[in-house]
Structure 1
Amino acid sequence: MTASVAVIGAGWAGCAAAVELAVAGCKVTLFEAARTLGGRARAVELDGRKLDNGQHILLGAYTETLRLLKMSGVDPDSALLRLPLQMRYPSGCDGMDFVAPHLPAPLHLLVALLRAQGLTRDDKMALARLSTTARWMDWRLNDDCSVTTLLQRYDQTERLIRLMWQPLCIAALNTPPERASAQVFLNVLRDSLGARRAASDMLIPKTDLSTLFPQHAAGFIEKHGGKIRTGTAVTGIRKAEQGWMLTTADNDEAHFDAAVIATHAVQTASLLAEATGHTAFSDFAYEPISTCYLQYPAGTQLAQPFFALLDDPLHDRPGQFVFDRGQLDAQQNGLFAVVISASSAAIADGHAALAQAVATQLAAAFERPELAHPEWTRVITEKRATYSCTPALERPIEQTEFPDLAIAGDYLAGDYPATLESAVRSGVKAARVLQENLSAN
């Protein structure tokens, strides 16, 4: 008999779990409280514009994400702009220019280091020292510590920290280096600086995030006999004699043979407490991410699709990376997206002040005064974008005490911080946990 499975939450973890279960022959119903699929990586409609609630970069090492994109009918080569691993600043600022060439690893990193502009010999030696030592350690620490401690331990220069390690840490872990897990940071470096060339490539979505995967996942699920229920919040879950009874906000009840809870950690903990009768796991501390969108006249372009920015919150320069969306999607001609990770301090004075500071920063960084005067701006902040990725943080696993109930999310135990890939991997793992238990019964 075909097993019926409820997946609660249509973020990237829930969509991944639902696709994997549909492939296995389960009858899947995907519940989403919002009207738009994608969770904390989704499209939003603002002033007649379709924007993402946050700009993302994927890596070539995101094997599960790329596999599920293809499975659900997406051509990654068309949907994603593939660029070599790089850290490039505007030429007018005191930055660096580091680009990995199309050569086999680790030769690509060596040549990139030799060719890098804006780094002194000491900077380059420090980068090589950390990379070589990390490889020798197999990218593992005996005891986790902060990223700042790791960088001090391996004598990284102040300039290299400012131009490379700090922005990479904040971008990848959404946690400042003094509080960020060195082990998780090394995991990210292993699959970027330490990976084969294709795995270290940077992949920038050309389309909005809901279209990129969740909408295709929904179509795939429906083609396999499943259902998508948007605008339907699951408010309760209780154990039935066989399987689970779900209650929705409109007091509808439905029975399923198994379930995956793939909501935000706070909601998951609440539903699990109801299902199991005890507290499943402690809540996390969270970090916000803000994306500032700036619309300029059509034809306004940067020299390349994205640049790193020298952020300096004390001098009102909050932006860390800028993306020229017009080079990714012709319909967004003249639209720039500036990312501010770990943005608690940046949003303290409000979105209007942040947008003005970003515009002023762009004008100075690119030595283009017209960038100080965009036609339109909008700041989107995800206040609980990711958990704070601190050293030795205990994270739950997908398996629960019930063989027919699993959880999924980017906050669960794994090598990566809260990324699209960690969400997808967790969703796949949760689906496989249920498959094993359902087939055993």
Structure 2
Amino acid sequence: MYAAKKAASPAVGAQVAVIGGGWAGCAAAVELAGKGARVTLFESSRTLGGRARAVEVQGRLLDNGQHILLGAYNETLGLLTRVGVDPAGALLRLPLQMRYPPDSGALDFAAPRLPAPWHMIVALVRATGLGRDDKLALAQLFTGLRWMGWRLDQDVSVSTLLERYGQTPRLARLLWHPLCLAALNTPPERASANVFMATLRDSLGARRAASDMLIPRLELSALFPTAAARYIEAHGGVLKTGAKVGALARAAGGWELESGERFDAVVLATPPGAAAALLAPHAEAAALAAQLNAFEHEPIATCYLQYDAGMRLPLPFCALLDEPATGRFGQFAFDRGQLDPGQAGLLAVVISAAAGAAALEQEALAQLVAAQLAEAFADPRLAAPLWSRVITEKRATFSCSPGLVRPGNLTALPRLVLAGDYTASDYPATLESAVRSGQAAARAILAGDRLPPENSSSSHAAGDGADGPVQ
């Protein structure tokens, strides 16, 4: 018996431009390069990573936003392993929890390492800061969500969903409000219940490990983009940073950039507005460009506060009671020193859906956050950091509103696909949705039956990407 010879992918040897070096673009480029496509990755900034990267501040690298991943982020974790990053060492794995500063009288909810659903049942029984009515309401909600299959036929806001299931004001304030902000970066009163439920389904409602919280120990560039760059180049790809693509023109059998470089296919992995600008000149994509331009966005601010190296919070991260009307903007505080010994005394405080906070001067916001920490942890030293820095991503995510229609990866233009956390998905704008979208875009190109096979007579040139891939 003879083994059948495996057919080569139609994209082997094809020259593909990936425009945008965020996590979606890097994921697409890794997938394509690993399957033999000749990839050129274009990124307008000098560093890869997009809205999840490190920036230099006062001679040190800080993330442009503190992230939490979930154990359910299977594609992201698999991709890290593929490019040579060990998730076990790169991420601190903690059981699902919502814990406020000790002695605050607020919620202390932490799941033990038990099989599902016992981890949630025991966590609910043990939780402090919730009364009997709160716990019954929480159990009622989870029963209802499971019964309905974690989805509504008619999407509504998260606030409306919580009202329907009789969630108490205390439960909404201490659990659902911060979870919604953290997951969707959209306030509950205008956040999609269906997207929120999908996040709960694959975390709280799944196997125990899926609900674990994963906090990066490495700065975000080292967590994935830097390793992705090495992988892409090792597989014959080319990286072009500081290279903005301003126009795409149809060419025989593919696409041409304003630089004159030609490619067989394009992955457009820029933010929605930038993608719309490149698509708008093409009549077939006019409706898609308009759809992308209609996306609304939400900011995220991260306030870094440096203290003496001996400063340490009781936990690696804690929830905070935010109340913007009284100057309490912080929602989660992270002790970076407990994640990376080289950052001892550095705290990162995250403010999601941060429109109000972003309107303040950086120094004023940092002072308010420091005062909030001092009050929350009953430690006056926290009111006087050695230095501070606020990093705000003004268009960090799309506004995840009820019924929002998100485009798929495929477009009406041949050999051009979209990739980004804003594309159609059950998930909000997360690293996992960006990775999944990038991989889906790459698979669409790899499955394309009109791409030239390896050793074809195609005359397309990709500039520095003319060398063949490493096999």
Taking structure 2 as the reference length, the TM-score comes to 0.91
C-alpha contact (below 8 Å) 1:292/1:378 kept by paired residues: yes
Mapped to 1, the partners of 2:90 and 2:450 lie a distance apart of 36
Q: 1:224 to 1:101 in 2, by over 3 A?
A: same
For 2:299, which of 288, 296, 309 is the aligned residue? 288
Matches within 5 A, 1:33-432: 33-247=44-258, 252-276=259-283, 278-281=286-289, 282=291, 283=293, 284-432=295-443
Mapped to 1, the partners of 2:230 and 2:254 lie a distance apart of 26
Mapped to 2, the partners of 1:124 and 1:440 lie a distance apart of 57
Q: Provide the aligned length of Structure 1 versus Structure 2.
A: 437
Whichever residue aligns with residue 239 of structure 1, its letter is R
Describe the superposition over 1:65-107 as per-residue Cα deviations: whole angstroms up to 9, x where unpaired: 1111111111000100000000000013231111111100011
C-alpha contact (below 8 Å) 2:370/2:382 kept by paired residues: yes
Describe the superposition over 1:244-298 as per-residue Cα deviations: whole angstroms up to 9, x where unpaired: 1012xxxx22011111000011000111123456242422111100000000001
Equivalent position SS for 1:50: strand
Q: 1:53 to 1:121 in 2, by over 3 A?
A: same
Mapped to 2, the partners of 1:183 and 1:152 lie a distance apart of 15
Mapped to 2, the partners of 1:130 and 1:103 lie a distance apart of 21
Mapped to 1, the partners of 2:247 and 2:288 lie a distance apart of 15
Mapped to 1, the partners of 2:382 and 2:53 lie a distance apart of 27
User: Which range moved further: 92-101 or 60-69?
Assistant: 92-101
Which residues of structure 2 form unaligned runs of 5+? 1-11, 453-471
C-alpha contact (below 8 Å) 1:301/1:334 kept by paired residues: yes
Whichever residue aligns with residue 46 of structure 2, its letter is R
Give the deviation of 1:402 after TM superposition.
2.9
Describe the superposition over 1:154-193 as per-residue Cα deviations: whole angstroms up to 9, x where unpaired: 0000000000000000111010000000000001111121
The structure whose RCO (Cα within 8 Å, separation 6+) is larger is 2
Whichever residue aligns with residue 255 of structure 1, its letter is R
Whichever residue aligns with residue 269 of structure 1, its letter is A
User: Which range moved further: 277-286 or 142-151?
Assistant: 277-286
C-alpha contact (below 8 Å) 2:22/2:49 kept by paired residues: yes
Describe the superposition over 1:4-59 as per-residue Cα deviations: whole angstroms up to 9, x where unpaired: 10000000000000001111110111000101110011110111121011000000
Give the deviation of 1:60 after TM superposition.
0.5
Equivalent position SS for 1:385: strand
C-alpha contact (below 8 Å) 2:55/2:63 kept by paired residues: yes
Mapped to 2, the partners of 1:104 and 1:92 lie a distance apart of 30
Equivalent position SS for 1:310: coil
Whichever residue aligns with residue 274 of structure 2, its letter is Q
Whichever residue aligns with residue 205 of structure 1, its letter is P
Equivalent position SS for 1:234: coil
Give the deviation of 1:303 after TM superposition.
1.3
Mapped to 2, the partners of 1:111 and 1:333 lie a distance apart of 34
Whichever residue aligns with residue 215 of structure 1, its letter is T
Mapped to 2, the partners of 1:140 and 1:257 lie a distance apart of 40
Describe the superposition over 1:392-416 as per-residue Cα deviations: whole angstroms up to 9, x where unpaired: 0011110012341101001111000
Whichever residue aligns with residue 269 of structure 2, its letter is A
C-alpha contact (below 8 Å) 1:123/1:160 kept by paired residues: yes
C-alpha contact (below 8 Å) 2:264/2:451 kept by paired residues: no
Give the deviation of 1:347 after TM superposition.
2.4
Whichever residue aligns with residue 32 of structure 1, its letter is E
Root mean square deviation, CA, Å: 1.1
Mapped to 1, the partners of 2:288 and 2:177 lie a distance apart of 34
User: Which range moved further: 273-282 or 327-336?
Assistant: 273-282
Mapped to 2, the partners of 1:89 and 1:275 lie a distance apart of 52
C-alpha contact (below 8 Å) 1:269/1:279 kept by paired residues: no
C-alpha contact (below 8 Å) 2:269/2:275 kept by paired residues: yes
Larger radius of gyration: 2
Mapped to 2, the partners of 1:182 and 1:438 lie a distance apart of 39
- Percent same amino acid at aligned positions? 63
Whichever residue aligns with residue 126 of structure 1, its letter is A
Mapped to 2, the partners of 1:438 and 1:207 lie a distance apart of 40
C-alpha contact (below 8 Å) 1:172/1:188 kept by paired residues: yes
C-alpha contact (below 8 Å) 1:408/1:426 kept by paired residues: yes
Taking structure 1 as the reference length, the TM-score comes to 0.97
